[in-house]
Amino acid sequence: MTNTSLPPAISIMGPTASGKTALAIALTKVLPCEIISVDSALIYRDMDIGTAKPTAEELVEAPHRLINILDPAESYSVAEFRRDALREMADITAKGRIPLLVGGTMLYFKSLIDGIAQLPASDADIRKQIEKEAELHGWESLHKQLQIVDPESAQRIHPNDPQRLMRAIEVYRLSGKAMSDLMRDNCDPAPYHFTQFAIAPQDRAVLHQLIEQRFEQMLAAGFEAEVAKLLARGDLNLDLPSMRCVGYRQMWQYLTGELNLQEMKDKAVAATRQLAKRQITWLRGWKDVTWLDTFNTDNVNVVLNCTKS
């Protein structure tokens, strides 16, 4: 966006474990900004350790909006996020401050900044047909179909993400158009001038090490007990969006005897790495973004210089 007559907003995007929170908190000390979380896991209460939620001390130092707003039994749509984020942004702007949007849920960022296209409503019959095809041939086969009719969505959606894969195929079968094309045909971009940043280590292997180290830290901090408490509630299951968050599904399977300890660790780290890969894939195609190196000690000044220009 180039319309600088619009009120300013800053976005800090990046893969998991890349240092987004630390940078955001540092920015609140030098800019008149307030943080809005753009993370589909941090919205849930009682899911603190496995989501790498900012600590209580960090939240006192730099409050985050749109954290702890839902119970894990509830669902939250992209449209609901956009509505809530725009409301919080308007409140921050009205106080003469700058919204600082921080997180790794790239679909949230895209819908917020570019707007949400009008996609066809779900069709139960088509969904049943897609599920039947998945049972017969596997989701990998359906992903190959998507690569033919909507390569852009196929690049963004992992073959092991049946919910989003089903939706992309359903939209194509209902409309005859690629979901990625339909999503570009929107008319309600956010009324802000965004200065956008993406932060990550330059070396992918280093990011993998950070992910593994952080999961070990989560285990040491009591992640098993956190998930055990959720399991004991009795009203949650692995089909809920909250329990599909990386790490939670694998720990749940460990606690119910489906995985042993090492399998749980390996699968949780692998799932987190896959998430990071998808996040980076999104960001590589992102327009008007300035990349930051996780280990650059001058990142705050880089952001300051970009927001002044």
Judged against a pLDDT cut of 90, whether residue 80 lies above it is answered with yes
Note the pLDDT tens digit of each residue in 99-119.
Answer: 999 999 999 999 999 888 778
pLDDT on residue 186: 56
Buried b (16+ CB within 10 A) or exposed e, 15-29: bbbbbbbebbbebbe
For residue 236, give Cα distances in angstroms to 39, 213, 228, 249: 20, 28, 11, 11
pLDDT on residue 187: 60
The secondary structure of the chain in percent helix, strand, coil, rounded to multiples of 5, reads 55, 10, 35
- Residues 255, 253: Cα–Cα separation, whole Å: 5
Answering whether pTM is above 0.95, one says no
Q: Which two tokens stand for residue 120?
A: 């066809």
- Residues 82, 104: Cα–Cα separation, whole Å: 15
Note the pLDDT tens digit of each residue in 235-281.
Answer: 999 999 999 999 999 999 999 999 999 999 999 999 999 999 999 99
- Residues 15, 278: Cα–Cα separation, whole Å: 8
Is the Cα torsion angle 148, 181, 80, 270 positive or negative in sign? positive
**Residue 179 CB contacts under 8 Å (≥ 6 apart), including other chains:** 119, 150, 153, 167, 168, 171, 172
Write the burial class of residue 105 (CB in 10 Å: 0-12 exposed, 13-18 middle, 19+ buried): buried
Three-class DSSP category at 155: helix
pLDDT on residue 181: 87
Average pLDDT of the residues in 192-208: 97
Domains of the chain with bracketed CATH: 8-116+186-308 (3.40.50.300), 124-184 (1.10.20.140)
pLDDT on residue 2: 46
- Residues 108, 241: Cα–Cα separation, whole Å: 15
230: nearest Cα among 215, 245, 213: 245
Write the burial class of residue 245 (CB in 10 Å: 0-12 exposed, 13-18 middle, 19+ buried): buried
Note the pLDDT tens digit of each residue in 127-156.
Answer: 999 999 999 999 999 999 999 999 999 998
Note the pLDDT tens digit of each residue in 29-76.
Answer: 999 999 999 999 999 999 999 999 999 999 999 999 999 999 999 999
* Mean pLDDT value across the chain: 94
Distance separating the N- and C-terminal Cα atoms of the chain: 14
Q: How many other C-beta atoms lie within 10 A of the C-beta of residue 278?
A: 18
Note the pLDDT tens digit of each residue in 268-283.
Answer: 999 999 999 999 999 9
Pairing of strands 193-200, 64-65: unpaired
